[in-house]
Amino acid sequence: MRTKLISLFLLFTLLLIPTGNAYAQSPSGDIIRIGENYTLKEGETLTGSLIVIGGNATLEKDSKITGDVVVIGGELTVDGAAKGNIVIIGGNGSVSSKVGADVVAIGGQITLTETAVVGGNVVTMGGQVEQEPGAEVAGDIINNVEPMVEIPDVPNVPNMPNTPNTPNVPNTPDGPNVNIDFNPFWEIVTVLWRAVAVAAVGMLLTLFLQPQLERVADAVTKQPVMAGSFGLLAVVVTPLAIIIMTVTLILIPVALLVALIIPLAWLFGMVALGQEVGERFTKAINQTWAPVLSTGLGTLILVLVTGFLGLIPCIGWLLSFLVSLFAIGGVAMTWFGTRSAPGATPSVTAPVEIPPAS
């Protein structure tokens, strides 16, 4: 145990050596090299310690170092004399001469050649020592030091008194599952706000895109089956296209753009259907309103009806979904109202009589 503590103490002491002479070029004083190799040439003497991080260190034959040697992440070759300790972390070392103190290796291998003489101990943690015949070690060779953990003795537990037998408790029936997440008042308020918002957007679109809205409404009213089919196809194909474009990475911006098409198509289609509802409502009451007002009222009625239908359990969502398919399909057939629907009969304008010239 004492040998292990001495070795670890020497390791941390060497790592805390002051770095004031980190880049000194003179053989006297401590030397630190980071990211480069260091060689103590033949016949030279270094009065101090040597630390090499991320590089290799070599002590050539007949060289001498009076302090310690630490190599981190590199190779160490000792052919000269070292009076201090030698520590290698994350690398391998070869000792072929005399070392005055301990040799420590963490996560690496130490090779003691036949001419090596170690005056202290040889300690490894996560590595091994290869000692050739003729190599001398004055101390001990300790492979893979294990930390000493002292576990205190468990105190005696007093005997527990005998507990009386308890009768079996009958199983209680499970209570009914009650859905408390549904708030009717909040759902109604949400539907109202959504209807008002969509109606406001519809009035704004009517000011600028009334012909396009009329084309979408005509496509749905004249070809409802085809509009529903187009809407279902768009709802099914668009997510698959988004997934494929996302996998390719390079088309992610396009996928984000495509992801906006379905919500925009739903909004545009609902406004177009709302315009149709508004026009038929004004005709039913024998009134003539401005397109902006009739579209706003029709869109408000349509979104309110579909929203309240969606609150009906089990089948409510299906009715709202069908209306959404018609809206999206009408937009898909006419490309947001920019062209007439395929197969649509163009409207015929009544001829205007031109009075004869007088």
3-state secondary structure 263-304: HHHHHHHHHHHHHHHHHHHHHHCCCCCCHHHHHHHHHHHHHH
Q: Quick one: average pLDDT of 67-85?
A: 89
Closest CA to 7 of 134, 135, 147: 147
Please state, for a pLDDT cut of 70, what percent of the chain lies above it: 78
DSSP H helices in the chain:
2-15, 184-222, 224-247, 252-259, 261-284, 291-310, 316-334
Least confident of 15-24, 76-85, 213-222: 15-24
Closest CA to 295 of 218, 203, 192: 203
Least confident of 83-97, 128-142, 191-205, 338-352: 338-352
Q: How confident is the model at residue 344 (pLDDT cuts 50, 70, 90)?
A: low
Least confident of 3-7, 20-24, 225-229: 20-24
DSSP, collapsed to helix, strand or coil, labels residue 129 as strand
Of residues 57 and 340, more confidently modeled: 57
The rounded distance, in Å, linking the Cα atoms of 100 and 103 is 9
319-337: pLDDT as tens digits: 889 888 999 988 989 988 8
Report the largest interatomic distance among the alpha carbons of the chain, rounded to a whole angstrom: 137
pTM greater than 0.75 (yes/no): no
39-60: pLDDT as tens digits: 989 989 988 888 888 889 998 9
Q: For position 300, what pLDDT does the model report?
A: 93
CB 256 within 8 A of CB 309: no
Output the average pLDDT for the chain: 80
